[in-house]
Amino acid sequence: MQSVTDLPFMRVIAKRGGPDWFVTEFFRVHPASKPDRYILRSIRENTTGRPIFAQIIGSDAEAMVKEAKLLLRENVAGIDLNLGCPSPTVCGKSAGGGLLRQPAEIDRMIGMLREAIPTRFTVKTRVGFAIESEFEKLLEIFRKHAIDGLTIHGRTVADRYQTPVRPHCVAAAVEILDCPVIANGNVVNALAGRKYLQLTGAQGLMIGRGAIRNPWIFDQLRSHFDGSATPQPRARDLLAYIEDLYAELARESKEYVEKHHIQRMKKTMLYIVQGLGDEIEQGMRRMQTEEEFFALFRNALDHDDLLPDVPPEQSKLFCGFQELL
């Protein structure tokens, strides 16, 4: 996730289980672009032991091919094309989810990328731009070019992040495509992940916000499949996670400026504090210094109570997930 799931974040969640595969934040591509140096570090300095895909986003097919070729010189598991970002700025440039309005252009771009990428070439998509009936045509294009995997965020671009996901669209893709299909969206806990798999027959899950809030979610899911012990994180574990994130991000910033660092932490903390109570949520908005940061979280989390399994329904950042529980 752009500006959140960077190299320090990957390292910190890998220590708590972590996914089988990572995907970088998206590399923005335009005719004059070169791969972003900071995002490149999550490939070059990936010490998690887990493979990583490089994700690209853009509207110029020739430039996308050029960038993909540059990224293929790196130690990547493959190249992933972003057709899901709903940001009005990105969509306004006909990139990310905005491209879903132009199936003919997607067809051309995927064809060119497929030809240029001899290894894994995967796509991350939504189920349409405005309505899900657009999905059928998109699936035809993905099948025609024999992509190696499709991750589906089960919403349209118009849905942004607010609605329930649409498992039947993911199930339709599983039926039609020969490649692995990965279900994404609203996996807030292990139960939601299992239900999403059950409803769709998908081969895997991609987890974004849920993994920021609960980095143990991957091991909680694994425990269901391999019979290993299910992690049951407690408040003190969350505190250690937050302290670890703070330190790792500080270590990686070019220059540690307290005020800026607190702002950077807030981007990630927003997901983590959902459901921990009004006092923490409000305290987080107010805090400005490292001392206030640690006082807030140590006061609230230095104990052994179990953490809530799900975030509050209808919080701004998590909503519409009840259907998967």
Ligand X SMILES: Cc1cc2nc3c(=O)[nH]c(=O)nc-3n(C[C@H](O)[C@H](O)[C@H](O)COP(=O)(O)O)c2cc1C
Which residues are catalytically annotated?
85
User: How many Cβ atoms sit within 10 Å of the Cβ of residue 265?
Assistant: 20
Q: Which is nearer to ligand X, 87 or 102 (CB)?
A: 87
Q: How many CA atoms are closer than 13 Å to the CA of 255, on its beta-carbon side?
A: 2
Compute the least distance from the CB of residue 156 to ligand X, in Å.
Answer: 13
Q: How far is CA 231 from the centre of its chain?
A: 22
| Unique residue bearing structure tokens 């509207």 | 59
Q: Residue 305: how many CB atoms within 10 A of its CB?
A: 9
- Taking the least distance from each CB to ligand X, the nearer of 51 and 236 is 51
Is the Cα torsion angle 10, 51, 43, 115 positive or negative in sign? negative
Structure tokens at 210: 């849920």
* CB-nearer residue toward ligand X: 12 or 301: 12
**C-beta closer to ligand X: residue 124 or 145:** 124
Contact yes or no for 230/210 (Cβ under 8 A):
no
| In the complex, residue closest to ligand X by CB | 208
Q: Which residues bind ligand X (CB under 6 A)?
A: 1-2, 4, 25-26, 55, 82, 84, 124, 153, 184-187, 207-210
CB 317 within 8 A of CB 274: yes
- Minimum CB distance to ligand X smaller for 54 or for 179: 54
Please name the residues in contact with 234: beta carbons below 8 A apart, sequence gap of 6 or more.
Answer: 303, 304, 305, 306, 307
Contact 317, 183 (CB under 8 A): no
